Amino acid sequence: MTAVSESIEIDRPVSEVFAYLDDPHNHATITPGITDIRNVEPLDNGGKRLEHTYEMAGVGIDGELVEQIHEENERMRFEMRGRLTGEIDLRFEDLDGRTRVTYSAEYDIPGRVLSAAAEPVVKRYNRRQLRKTLDNLKRELESED
């Protein structure tokens, strides 16, 4: 299991940031590698279930995300199912009209077992992807001025 986590502060109220990320189609806008979001279904807990395609090394990988925790303006936690398995956890903190978003992911890489030497390279790649996602989120929300 590989884990990465990053945070960013956004000059928007927590309710706006949460609402933006509560729309699964917005994830395709900000997340490098997501090429398709489809079959979005509401869940009884207020969250969503959806299918997606994530492109890794030029190969599309289909999967499913199921929101296990949906706490309005505080937290979203998704279970990743399919060839990519793991969890994505988004936490929101109100900073007097600004928002801190912490994005954590734990996942297993599909395919052969990674050697101990390869895992740090994959972790750096995924940390960069996560950082790019948060930077894109900030740009999208702050450019709405």
* Per-residue pLDDT tens digits for 30-64: 998 898 999 999 999 999 999 999 887 778 889 99
Query: Which residue range(s) make up the domain with 39?
Result: 2-142
- pLDDT of amino acid 112: 53
- pLDDT of amino acid 97: 95
Does the structure show a pLDDT above 80 at 113?
Answer: no
pLDDT bucket at 123, cuts 50 / 70 / 90: confident
- pLDDT of amino acid 109: 63
Q: Which of 58, 107, 104 is nearest to 80 (CA)?
A: 107
pLDDT, mean over the chain: 89
Order the strands of the 75-82 sheet from edge to edge. Answer: 2-10, 98-108, 85-95, 75-82, 59-71, 48-56, 34-42
Supply the pTM of this predicted model.
0.89
Does the structure show a pLDDT above 70 at 21?
Answer: yes
How many domains, in total, are found in the chain? 1
Angle between helical axes of 14-21 and 119-142 (0-180°, round to 10): 120
Provide the CATH number for the domain around residue 45.
3.30.530.20
Compute the distance between CA of residue 21 and CA of residue 87 in angstroms, rounded to an integer.
16
